[in-house]
Structure 1
Amino acid sequence: MISHLFLNKTKSLTPSASLQVDKNGFEFLIIEHKKLAAAFTLHGGHLIHFQPVNQAPIIWLSKTAIFDDQKAIRGGVPICWPWFGPASPELGGNLPSHGFARTSKWSIGNIEETEEGVELELKLVSDEKTLAMWPYQFELTLKASLTEQLQLQLITENKGTQNFTYRSALHTYLNIGTPEAVKVSGLNETFANSLQNKQLETGDGSLAIDQAIDSIYNKAQGEIQLEDQQLQRTLTITNTGNDSEVVWSPWIEGATAFADMPDDGYQTMLCIESTITRSEGHFVSSGEQHILSTLIK
């Protein structure tokens, strides 16, 4: 899934983990374990690939994704933080959509590996640049547990003396066989349809993929399942710490408008995101932390 990137190893970190670069020097953290393969970029703390051995990839990455230090990467699991969508007007103008975490440089924390897989941490800490956009001190940790299943925990810690609220998304692009072979179930029955001015609608908690979708579902009561007849598998998604799930497919009109997605890219991806989207956000008092997570198996 990422062989087209033509990476060269620059440093071994553990028997399974290494730093690698592409022809432009863009840096990747690559995991090559006997049970799985995975890849992250330090730009954005961004998981771009996850594939258990002898399975199709679970995470989708655009073949025309742009890797630089400027924009978010198309595919994988972008981290939208500390806001989702546009920034609140009181923060000022000209702020990046979906926050600054997905375009910031993260650092590598602990990496531990076992017979079953790898656990690792990536970190982002407030500095002068982030404080100019969002006036709060924080430490943000992405904790990834990579085995035959994938768990991502986004840990937001308030390191300052002021309380704050935040909105966020683990904007997960899932790899699918083809839209007509996919059915989603286990969603909440109530959702806001962003393609219809966030009109509130109700359904039966299931979804077929046959057109553009951009919906904010109230938090699911349990597991969400993505049944894929072409890939002959069912993915089970369990989200915690969230208030909603966003389901998104750009369909052909959206895909052709993106410079960093092939025109047929919509045929092999579907986003089911663990999100905090309510306008009031999630409150984190001084010295406390909150965890937004997704588990995919």
Structure 2
Amino acid sequence: MISHLSLQKKDTLSNSVSLQSDENDFEFLIINHKNFDAAFSLHGAHLLHFQLKDQAPIIWLSKTAIFNENKAIRGGVPVCWPWFGPAGKSLGDNLPGHGFARTSKWTVKNIDELSNGVEIQFSLTDNEETRKLWPHQFELVLKATLTETVKLELISTNTGAESFFYRAALHSYLAISSPDACKITGLNKNYADMLDSGKAKTSDGTLIITEPVDTIYQKSESAITVEDSTYQRNLTVTNTGNDSEVVWNPWISGAEAFADMPDDGYKTMLCVESAITDPVGETIAAGQSHTLTTTIS
């Protein structure tokens, strides 16, 4: 999924992790493990690729994704934080959609080689620029544990003196063979249809994608499974710390409207996101933390 990128190695960070960059010095962490291949960008602490050896990729990345410091990357797992969707009038006007974490430069905090994988921690802290957008002190850590599964833990710590609330999502783009080969099970029966003005609706918890979908489901009571008959695999998504799951596919017209997605890109991706979408968000007291996770297996 990243083989089309022309990268040059800059540094070796561990046995399986190297720092690489493209011709514009956009930086990537490339993981070549005996069991899998993976990639992150430091821009957004963004998981771009994960693929077990001799299997189809689990994470989808747009073939026409744009890599620069000003734009979120299309595909992978963008970190939406400290809000999901529009910021809301209470925070101000003209703020970036889905927050600023996904377009910020993160640092590598720690890398541990495991017996069956690797654990990488990325860190983002408040600075003058973030406080112009959101006036709070924080440390945000993305802990990625990559083995035969992908486990992402987004740890939000309030380093200030007053409480704050946040909303967020681990905006996972799953790689699929085709929409008509997939069935999603385990969803909550109650959801808001964002393509129908957020109207509350119900279902049987099963979904087959045949048209554009943008839905916010109430938190599932169980794991969510994407059954892919062509790839002959089930992807299981287990979320914690969330209040909802977002399911999204832009379909034909949506893909055509994106400059950074091929017109047929909708055919091989499906977003199933661990999210905090309630307007009241998650409140974190001074000195405390909250963790949002997603595990894809």
- TM interval, shorter chain, is over 0.9
Unaligned runs of 5+ in 2: none
How much has 1:296 moved relative to structure 2? 0.7
2:2 aligned with 1:2:
yes
How much has 1:210 moved relative to structure 2? 0.7
Match of 2:98 in 1: 98
Structure 2 Cα separation of the partners of residues 275 and 40 of structure 1: 21
Match of 1:36 in 2: 36
SS of equivalent to 1:90? coil
Counterpart amino acid of residue 281 in structure 2: G
| Matches for 1:267-278 after TM superposition, within 5 Å | 267-278=267-278
Counterpart amino acid of residue 47 in structure 1: L
Q: 1:227-286: per-residue Cα shift (whole Å, max 9, x none)? A: 001111001110000000000000000000000000000000000000000000001000
Structure 2 Cα separation of the partners of residues 51 and 141 of structure 1: 23
How much has 1:92 moved relative to structure 2? 1.6
Structure 1 segments (4+ residues) deviating >4 Å: none
Match of 1:139 in 2: 139
How much has 1:115 moved relative to structure 2? 2.7
Structure 1 Cα separation of the partners of residues 269 and 43 of structure 2: 22
Match of 2:197 in 1: 197
Q: Percent identity?
A: 59
Match of 1:111 in 2: 111
Match of 2:65 in 1: 65
| Matches for 1:255-294 after TM superposition, within 5 Å | 255-294=255-294
How much has 1:127 moved relative to structure 2? 0.6
When the two structures are aligned, how many residues end up with a matched partner?
A: 297
Structure 2 Cα separation of the partners of residues 75 and 279 of structure 1: 25
Q: 1:138-180: per-residue Cα shift (whole Å, max 9, x none)? A: 0000000000111000000000001000000000000000110
Structure 2 Cα separation of the partners of residues 39 and 222 of structure 1: 29
Match of 1:14 in 2: 14
How much has 1:90 moved relative to structure 2? 2.4
SS of equivalent to 1:91? coil
How much has 1:182 moved relative to structure 2? 0.3
Relative to the length of structure 1, the TM-score reads 0.99
Structure 2 Cα separation of the partners of residues 152 and 41 of structure 1: 15
Q: Which moved more, 1:239-248 or 1:44-53?
A: 44-53
Q: 1:182-214: per-residue Cα shift (whole Å, max 9, x none)? A: 000000000000000000000000000110000
Counterpart amino acid of residue 294 in structure 1: T
How much has 1:6 moved relative to structure 2? 1.4
SS of equivalent to 1:89? coil
Structure 2 Cα separation of the partners of residues 128 and 23 of structure 1: 29
SS of equivalent to 2:266? helix
Structure 1 Cα separation of the partners of residues 217 and 4 of structure 2: 35
Counterpart amino acid of residue 70 in structure 2: Q
